C-alpha cells in the first residue's frame, strides 16, 4: 500500500516544522526509551549492581538510535506479545546481547513511557519558546514603526475614538508576553517521573538494593541528573500525575485564544482594506474570483487555534478519571492530544512569524476612513472652542446636534460623504472658529497618549521580557508551508 493510500495527519505531513515533528516521531520515542534504559543501567551500576557490566553499557551506548529494521522487528514482537514496551525490550536485547538480561531492570513500563513523555514535553517547549520570542520581537518593531499613525478605533465593531496602529498592535503583544511567561513557567515546572516502580513505592528497587533506602533514593536522583532534569516528582503512582498534562496544555490553550484574536483582527482589517497579511506575487486568492486577496494565513491561524483550544479538555477529563495508582484509559488519548497540541502550537507560531514579518499597511485608506468619522468625534472640540469665544454651551450643543443629524442622514440615507464640517463652515453661527477647524480636526490630537504608551511599553515591558532570549532572536525569513 502506497503512503498515498493511508490517512496521515496534516499537522505533521502538511504544516508542522520538521523539528517539532521529530520530537514526537516513533524513532525519537523508541530511541529515548533506549536512552532511559541506558541511564538506568549506568546509575544502577554506579550504585553497586555488579550484574551490570561495562560491556553491557557499551553495547547500549552504541545502539541508542533505533534503526528502521529494529522498529519493524519491534512491531512484529508487539503483534505477538501485545505489549509495546516489552517488544522493544526484546528488540534492544537482540541488538545488545550483553545487556539483554539487565535492560529494564527493576522498572515498569511507565519508567520509559512517562519519563520519555516528560522529556518530549520539555523539548517541545524549547522549540516553541524561541518562535514566540521572535513573533513578539517582530510585532514590537512594527508597533514602534507605526506608533504615531492614527487609526479609527472600534468598540463593538462600531466607530469609536481614535487610537494608533502601533497602539493596537501592543494589545496583541501584551497577550503574547503573558503567553511567553506561561510557556516558560510550564517548561521549567516540568520534572521527571524518575525511578518509582510499578505502583510508585519503589519496591522493586528496594529489593534490588537489599533494603537500602538510601541507594534507592540515590538511584532516583542520579537517573534524573543523567537525563538533564533538575527535579523529580517526589511521589507518583505508576504514572506521573496526569494533572501535569493540564499544566502543560493550559498555556497552549491560552495562547490559542491570543492567536485567534490577533488573526481575527487582521482579517477584519483586511476587509476594511487598512491592513493585510503578506500576499505572495504568484499567490492565487480564489479559483473563480481572480481579484481576491483572501487572508488565508490568518484563516489558518483561526482554524487551528480552535483545535488547539479544544485539546485542553482532553487533559482535564483524563486527569479527573484516573483510578488510584493508574488506569490505562489515559494512554490512547494522550498519544493523540499531547503531540497534536504541540504540533498545532508550532504551526500557529510559524504562521504568526510569517504574518508579522510582512504586514502591509494602507495609510491612505486609513486616512479616508478617519475623515469619514472624525467630524462627529470632533463635535466636543467644536463646542469647547465656541464656548471659548463666548458662546453658550447649550446653544452650541443644539446647533451642532442639528447639523450632525443632517450629515448623518446624508451618509446613511443617501450614501454620501460626511459633510458635517462643510455645514459648519457654511453656518455663520460657527464663524468665530472657522479659522480653527483644521487644528480642531487634526487626527493626531485625538489619539491621547497612544504613541507614548507604545514607546514605554516596548522599552520597558517587551525589552525586559525578551532580555533572557536575545540569542534566540533572528531576522531570518520564515517561509509559509502550503
* Domains observed in the chain: 19-99 (1.10.275.10), 113-149+165-192+234-361 (1.20.200.10), 379-440 (1.10.40)
pLDDT at 289 over 70: no
Query: What is the set of active-site residues?
Result: 156, 286
pLDDT above 90: percentage of residues in the chain: 84
Grid coordinates in use for 54? 561495562
Grid coordinates in use for 252? 497552549
234-248, 262-276, 368-382 — which is least confidently predicted? 368-382
Dist. CA 9–CA 11, nearest whole Å? 5
Give tens-digit pLDDT for 408-433. 899 889 998 889 889 999 999 999 99
pLDDT at 70 over 80: yes
What is residue 284's predicted lDDT score, i.e. its pLDDT?
46
- Per-residue pLDDT band for 375 (boundaries 50, 70, 90) equals confident
What is residue 444's predicted lDDT score, i.e. its pLDDT?
93
What is residue 290's predicted lDDT score, i.e. its pLDDT?
46
What is residue 176's predicted lDDT score, i.e. its pLDDT?
98
What is residue 3's predicted lDDT score, i.e. its pLDDT?
76
Mean pLDDT, range 229-240, rounded to an integer: 96
What is residue 12's predicted lDDT score, i.e. its pLDDT?
87
Dist. CA 271–CA 257, nearest whole Å? 21
Count CB-CB contacts under 10 A for residue 137.
22
Q: What is the pTM of this model?
A: 0.91
Higher pLDDT, 103 or 284: 103
What is residue 477's predicted lDDT score, i.e. its pLDDT?
76
Mean pLDDT, range 191-199, rounded to an integer: 96
Higher pLDDT, 475 or 223: 223
Three-state SS sequence of the chain: CCHHHCCCCHHHHHHCCHHHHHHCCHHHHHHHHHHHHHHHHHHHHHCCCCCCCHHHHHHHHHCCCCCHHHHHHHHHHHHHHCCHHHHHHHHHHHHCHHHCCCCCCCCCHHHHHHHHHHHHHHHHHHHHHHHHHHHHHHHHHHHHHCCCCEEEEEECCEEEEEEEHHHHHHHHHHHHHHHHHHHHHHHHHCCECCCCCCCCCCHHHHHHCCCCHHHHHHHHHHHHHHCCCCCECCCCCCCCCCHHHHHHHHHHHHHHHHHHHHHHHHHHHHHCCCEECCCCCCCCCCCCCCCCCCCHHHHHHHHHHHHHHHHHHHHHHHHHCCCCCCCHHHHHHHHHHHHHHHHHHHHHHHHHHHHHCCCEECHHHHHHHHHHHHHHHCHHHHHHHHHHCCCCHHHHHHHHHHHHHHHHHHHHHCCCCCCHHHHHHHCHHHHHHHHHHHHHCCHHHHCCCHHHHHHHHHHHHHHHHHHHHHHHCCCCCCCCCC
Grid coordinates in use for 267? 482579517
Give tens-digit pLDDT for 17-28. 999 999 999 999
Q: In angstroms, what CA-CA distances link 292 with 271, 284, 286, 355, 455? A: 11, 8, 6, 18, 36
Q: What is the largest CA-CA distance in the chain?
A: 105
What is residue 279's predicted lDDT score, i.e. its pLDDT?
74
What is residue 294's predicted lDDT score, i.e. its pLDDT?
85
What is residue 132's predicted lDDT score, i.e. its pLDDT?
98
pLDDT above 70: percentage of residues in the chain: 96
Mean pLDDT across the chain, nearest whole number? 94
Q: At what angle do helices 109-145 and 243-271 cross, to 10 degrees?
A: 30
Dist. CA 226–CA 38, nearest whole Å? 10
Mean pLDDT, range 349-356, rounded to an integer: 96
Contact (Cβ atoms closer than 8 angstroms) between residue 71 and residue 30: yes
What is residue 61's predicted lDDT score, i.e. its pLDDT?
98
Amino acid at each position: 500500500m502506497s503512503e498515498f493510500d493511508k490517512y496521515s495527519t496534516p499537522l505533521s505531513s502538511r504544516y508542522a516544522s520538521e523539528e517539532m515533528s521529530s520530537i514526537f516521531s516513533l524513532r525519537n520515542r523508541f530511541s529515548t526509551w533506549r536512552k532511559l534504559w541506558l541511564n538506568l543501567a549506568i546509575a544502577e551500576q554506579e550504585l553497586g549492581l555488579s550484574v551490570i557490566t561495562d560491556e553491557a553499557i557499551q553495547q547500549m551506548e552504541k545502539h541508542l538510535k533505533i534503526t528502521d529494521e529494529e522498529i519493524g522487528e519491534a512491531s512484529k514482537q508487539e503483534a505477538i506479545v501485545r505489549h509495546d514496551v516489552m517488544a522493544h525490550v526484546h528488540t534492544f536485547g537482540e541488538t545488545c546481547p550483553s545487556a539483554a538480561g539487565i535492560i529494564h531492570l527493576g522498572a515498569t513500563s511507565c519508567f520509559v513511557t512517562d519519563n520519555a513523555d516528560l522529556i518530549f514535553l520539555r523539548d517541545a517547549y524549547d522549540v516553541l519558546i524561541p518562535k514566540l520570542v521572535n513573533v513578539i520581537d517582530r510585532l514590537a518593531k512594527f508597533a514602534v514603526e507605526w506608533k504615531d499613525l492614527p487609526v479609527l478605533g472600534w468598540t463593538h465593531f462600531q466607530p469609536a475614538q481614535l487610537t494608533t496602529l502601533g497602539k493596537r498592535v501592543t494589545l496583541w503583544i501584551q497577550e503574547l508576553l503573558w503567553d511567553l511567561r506561561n510557556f516558560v513557567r510550564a517548561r521549567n515546572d516540568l520534572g521527571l517521573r524518575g525511578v518509582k516502580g510499578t505502583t510508585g513505592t519503589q519496591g522493586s528497587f528496594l529489593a534490588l538494593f537489599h533494603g537500602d533506602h538510601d541507594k534507592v533514593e540515590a538511584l532516583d536522583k542520579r537517573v534524573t541528573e543523567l537525563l538533564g532534569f533538575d527535579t523529580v516528582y517526589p511521589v507518583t503512582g505508576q504514572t506521573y500525575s496526569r494533572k501535569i498534562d493540564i499544566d502543560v496544555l493550559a498555556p497552549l490553550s491560552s495562547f490559542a485564544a491570543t492567536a485567534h484574536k490577533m488573526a481575527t483582527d487582521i482579517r477584519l482589517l483586511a476587509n476594511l482594506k487598512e491592513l493585510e497579511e503578506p500576499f505572495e506575487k504568484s499567490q492565487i486568492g480564489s479559483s473563480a474570483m481572480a481579484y481576491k486577496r483572501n487572508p488565508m494565513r490568518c484563516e489558518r491561524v483561526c482554524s487551528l487555534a480552535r483545535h488547539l483550544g479544544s485539546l485542553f479538555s482532553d487533559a482535564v477529563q483524563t486527569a479527573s478519571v484516573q483510578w488510584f495508582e493508574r488506569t490505562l484509559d489515559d494512554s490512547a488519548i494522550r498519544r493523540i492530544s499531547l503531540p497534536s497540541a504541540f504540533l498545532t502550537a508550532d504551526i500557529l507560531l510559524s504562521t504568526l512569524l510569517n504574518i508579522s514579518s510582512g504586514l502591509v499597511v494602507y495609510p491612505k485608506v486609513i486616512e479616508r476612513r478617519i475623515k469619514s468619522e472624525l467630524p462627529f468625534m470632533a463635535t466636543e472640540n467644536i463646542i469647547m472652542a465656541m464656548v471659548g469665544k463666548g458662546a453658550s454651551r447649550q446653544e452650541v450643543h443644539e446647533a451642532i446636534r442639528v447639523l450632525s443629524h443632517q450629515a448623518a442622514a446624508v451618509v446613511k440615507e443617501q450614501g454620501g460623504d460626511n459633510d458635517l464640517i462643510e455645514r459648519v463652515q457654511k453656518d455663520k453661527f460657527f464663524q468665530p472658529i472657522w479659522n480653527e477647524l483644521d487644528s480642531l480636526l487634526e487626527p493626531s490630537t485625538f489619539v491621547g497618549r497612544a504613541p507614548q504608551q507604545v514607546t514605554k511599553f516596548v522599552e520597558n515591558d517587551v525589552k525586559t521580557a525578551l532580555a533572557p532570549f536575545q540569542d534566540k532572536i533572528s531576522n531570518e525569513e520564515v517561509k509559509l508551508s502550503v
